[in-house]
Amino acid sequence: MKSRSGPLTDITVLDCTMALAGPFGSAILADLGADVIKIEPPGGDMSRGTPPHPPDFATPSSERQAGCDYGGYFGSINRNKRGIQLDLKDPAQREIFLRMCERADAVVENMRAGVMDRLGCGYEQLSARNPRIVYGAIRGFGDPRTGESPYVDWPAFDIVAQSMGGLARINGPASQTGYPAGASVGDLYPGTLLALGVVSAVHEARRTGRGQFVDVAMADAVAFLCETVVANYGYEGVSLGARGVGHPNLCPFDIYPTADGSVAIAAPRPRQWEDLCRAMGRPELIEDLRTVNVRARVENRALVNDAIEQWTCCLSKTQVVAALAGKVPCGPVNSAQDLFEDPHFRARDMIQEVTLPGDNPTVSIAGPPIKFTQTPTTVYRRAPLLDEHRAEILAQFGINEES
C-alpha cells in the first residue's frame, strides 16, 4: 500500500480552499508529502457535486456514506488530503480550528478579501495564536495587505483572470479577440504559485521564527504567465493579438495538419531548421534568403508554413514524428485517449489509479509531475468524503470535542 512520502512530510497545512485554484495549489503540497487537512464548511466544498460522477454518486447528506459524495473534478484536485467539516461561524467549531492553527505550519484559503477576518480567522488572529504560521491566500485581485487594488471586492473565476491578465487576448484563432485556454489556467497557475509561495514562507519561518502572509492574485499570476505580452509591448510598443497556433517571434513554431490529425513542430534554431528541411526533402530552403534565419522566416511565415503543410498533410502523425524525433522538437496533438496510450505518461507514472468509496470502479487521475530520486511523490490517498477523518484529525491535534 502506498503511503505519504515526498520532501514536505514534516509540514502540516490546513486547507480552507474550495473550487479549483486553492485546492489545486494545496494538492501540489499534498503530492509533495505535506499533511494537508481539508477543512470544509457545512455541506462541503461547492465543487463536490461537479461532474464527471462515479456510478453511485450520492448528493443528499443522508446518503453520503452509502456511496461517493464527490465527482471527478473534486477527486482529482483533493487527492492525498484528509477531510474534516468545521463551521467557522460557530464559536465552538471556530475554536477547534484556532487550536489546530496553533500546531500547523500553514493555512491556505481562497475566499474574498475580508471573509476570514470577519470570521475571526484572519492572518492577524492566527498569528497571535501561532507567530510561526504562514497564511496563504488566492484572490481574484489580491489582498490589501500586499497592495491595494480598485478591484479588491470583485469576485473572479478562471475566465475573468485569463481575460484581465492578457491570456485570452493572445489565445485562440487569429481572427478572434478573446479566447480562453482549454485548461483552467486562470485557476491552475495561481494555485501553483501559491504552493511555491507557501513552501518559501515556511522555509523562512523556520529560519526566523516568524510566519507571514502570502498573497497571489489570479489576475497577477496570469499577467506574469503572459510575460511575452508585457515584453513585446514594453520593448517595442507592440500589442500582441490572438496568435492562432503559431508564435509571434519564432518560426516555424506551429501545429500542422497530418493525414490523421495534427502535430506540433518547432524549429527556430539553425540546426533544427536544417534538419527539418532535409526531412521534408526541401534542402534549398536552408539557404533561401526568405527562410535563411528565424527573422526571415517570421517575415515569410506563410511560405514556411505552406512548405511544411505540403509535407505533413500526406503523412500520419506517427510518420511525421518518426522522421523528426530526436532532431527537431515535435510531437503529436494528443487526445485524452492518446494520453492514456502514450508510453511516456505510463512510464512516468502520470496516469495513476485510485479506488473510490462505495460500489465504484477504479478510476484514473493525473499523477504528480514533480519527481524526486530520494523522496518519491505519488497518489497514495483518494479525496476524502465530507468529514471523513474527523476523529483522527482531532486526535492528532489533541482536541476532545466533547470537553
pLDDT of 205 reads: 98
Mean pLDDT to the nearest integer, 313-342: 96
pLDDT tens figures, 76-103: 999 999 999 999 999 999 999 999 999 9
Q: Model pTM?
A: 0.93
pLDDT of 62 reads: 46
Contact of 329 with 272, CB cutoff 8 Å = yes
pLDDT tens figures, 224-244: 999 999 999 999 999 999 888
Mean pLDDT to the nearest integer, 144-155: 95
The alpha carbons of the chain give a radius of gyration, in whole angstroms, of: 25
pLDDT of 287 reads: 96
Q: pLDDT at residue 223 above 60?
A: yes
Check for a shared fold between 12-224+347-396 and 253-334.
no
Mean pLDDT to the nearest integer, 321-345: 96
Would you place residue 327 in the very low, low, confident or very high pLDDT band (cuts 50, 70, 90)?
A: very high
Which are the contacts of 17, defined by CB distance < 8 A and separation ≥ 6?
23, 25, 26, 108, 109, 110, 138
pLDDT of 243 reads: 83
Contact of 229 with 236, CB cutoff 8 Å = no
* Of 339 and 403, the one with more pLDDT: 339
Q: pLDDT at residue 372 above 90?
A: yes
3-state SS, one letter per residue, for the chain:
CCCCCCCCCCCEEEECCCCCHHHHHHHHHHHCCCEEEEEECCCCCCCCCCCCCCCCECCCHHHHHHCECCCHHHHHHCCCEEEEECCCCCHHHHHHHHHHHCCCCEEEECCCCCHHHHCCCCHHHHHHHCCCCEEEEEECCCCCCCCCCCCCCCCCCHHHHHHHCCHHHHCCCCCCCCCCCCCCHHHHHHHHHHHHHHHHHHHHHHHHCCCCEEEEEHHHHHHHHCHHHHHHHHHHCCCCCCCCCCCCCCCCEEEEEECCEEEEEECCCHHHHHHHHHHHCCHHHHCCCCCCCHHHHHHCHHHHHHHHHHHHCCCCHHHHHHHHCCCCCEEECCCHHHHHHCHHHHHCCCEEEEECCCCCCEEEEECCCCCCCCCCCCCCCCCCCCCCCHHHHHHHCCCCCCC
Mean pLDDT to the nearest integer, 360-372: 94
Q: pLDDT at residue 9 above 50?
A: yes
pLDDT of 177 reads: 83
Tell me the residue type at 236. E
pLDDT of 60 reads: 52
Contact of 19 with 45, CB cutoff 8 Å = yes
Pairing mode, if any, of strands 362-366 and 35-40?
A: unpaired
CA 47, 50, 56, 58 torsion-angle sign: positive
Residue with cell 450520492: 58
Contact of 342 with 333, CB cutoff 8 Å = no
**According to the CATH classification, is domain 253-334 in 3.40.367.20?**
no
CATH superfamily of 12-224+347-396: Crotonobetainyl-coa:carnitine coa-transferase; domain 1 (3.40.50.10540)
Percentage of the chain beyond pLDDT 90 is 90
pLDDT tens figures, 297-308: 999 999 999 999
pLDDT of 203 reads: 98
Q: pLDDT at residue 61 above 60?
A: no
Please confirm whether the linkage preceding 252 is cis (ω < 30° from 0): yes
* CA atoms within 13 A of residue 12's CA, in its CB half-sphere: 14
pLDDT of 63 reads: 46
pLDDT of 359 reads: 85
Cell of 396: 492528532
Mean pLDDT to the nearest integer, 54-59: 83
CB neighbours of residue 336 within 10 Å: 7
Determine whether 402 is exposed, middle or buried from the number of CB atoms within 10 Å of its CB (0-12, 13-18, 19+).
exposed
Q: Which residues are catalytic?
A: 187
Of 55-59, 243-247, 258-262, 278-282, which gets the smallest average pLDDT? 55-59
Q: pLDDT at residue 219 above 80?
A: yes
Per-chain mean pLDDT for the chain = 95
Percentage of the chain beyond pLDDT 70 is 98
Q: Where are the domains of the chain?
A: 12-224+347-396, 253-334
